[in-house]
């Protein structure tokens, strides 16, 4: 890749990775309610799932999803349903002790699988595939495999860094949120973000 392409890639990845979305919201919620250690496995699951998704998109999976409207709608509906379910669980937890009762738990493999239900992740993967993998400037790329590997590496780092940053913020707020009803309103605010994200996904 040329220096100009790498610069554009880094700027694009920064904007997309650190902007609020399902992953960053969930990382914040998990850390605020369960601590940084609980959120860490999710922070590791995101880049793992994203790398598989990006690799699949670069190898033709993205074209398959775009080419089959029924499959695209299935991904969208499942993603929206999962966002709303998480929002409902999150909005019910008002105390740290209630987190387990509300079952606000996301395993590593659930975190990996969530990437395939995340419309934002799909849009990002498809954009990167079209703009940086199969094309180099205005011409078809001569080394799409190498370019795909570079992008997967970049995005894995960005995915971990962005979600860990949000989780760190959530964990730093943990003690302050434990007082009174602060955690309840914080969780409800994040639940609204998830509902808003689900609404945004529905329009895509």
Helix H or strand E encompassing 136: strand 135-136
Q: Which residue has the higher pLDDT, 63 or 110?
A: 110
Mean pLDDT (the chain, rounded): 81
* pLDDT over 90 at 191, yes or no: no
pLDDT per residue as tens digits for the range 9-41: 888 888 888 887 889 988 998 898 888 988 999
pLDDT per residue as tens digits for the range 149-159: 988 998 999 99
Question: Does residue 178 sit in helix, strand or coil?
Answer: coil
CB-based contacts of 135-139 (< 8 A; 24+ apart in sequence): 136/1, 136/2, 136/5, 137/2, 137/5
pLDDT recorded at residue 70? 79
Q: What does the domain layout of the chain look like in residue ranges?
A: 3-203
Dihedral sign of CA atoms 93, 169, 24, 53 in order: negative
pLDDT per residue as tens digits for the range 89-131: 777 765 554 444 455 678 899 999 989 888 778 878 888 887 7
């Amino acid at each position: 890749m040329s220096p100009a392409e790498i610069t554009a890639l880094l700027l694009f990845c920064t904007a997309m990775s650190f902007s609020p979305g399902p992953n960053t919201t969930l990382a914040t919620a998990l850390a605020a309610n369960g601590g940084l250690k609980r959120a860490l496995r999710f922070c590791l699951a995101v880049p793992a799932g994203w790398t598989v998704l990006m690799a699949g998109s670069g190898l033709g999976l993205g074209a398959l999803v775009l080419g089959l409207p029924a499959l695209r709608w299935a991904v969208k509906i499942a993603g929206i349903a999962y966002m709303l379910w998480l929002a409902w669980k999150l909005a019910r937890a008002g105390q740290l002790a209630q987190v387990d009762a509300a079952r606000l738990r996301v395993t590593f493999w659930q975190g990996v699988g969530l990437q395939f239900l995340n419309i934002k992740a799909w849009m990002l993967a498809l954009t990167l595939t079209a703009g940086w993998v199969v094309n180099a400037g205005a011409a078809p790329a001569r080394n799409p495999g190498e370019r795909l590997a570079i992008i997967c590496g970049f995005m894995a780092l960005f995915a971990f860094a962005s979600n860990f940053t949000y989780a760190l913020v959530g964990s730093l707020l943990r003690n302050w949120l434990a007082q009174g009803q602060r955690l309840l309103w914080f969780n409800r605010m994040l639940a609204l973000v998830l509902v808003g994200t689900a609404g945004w996904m529905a329009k895509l």
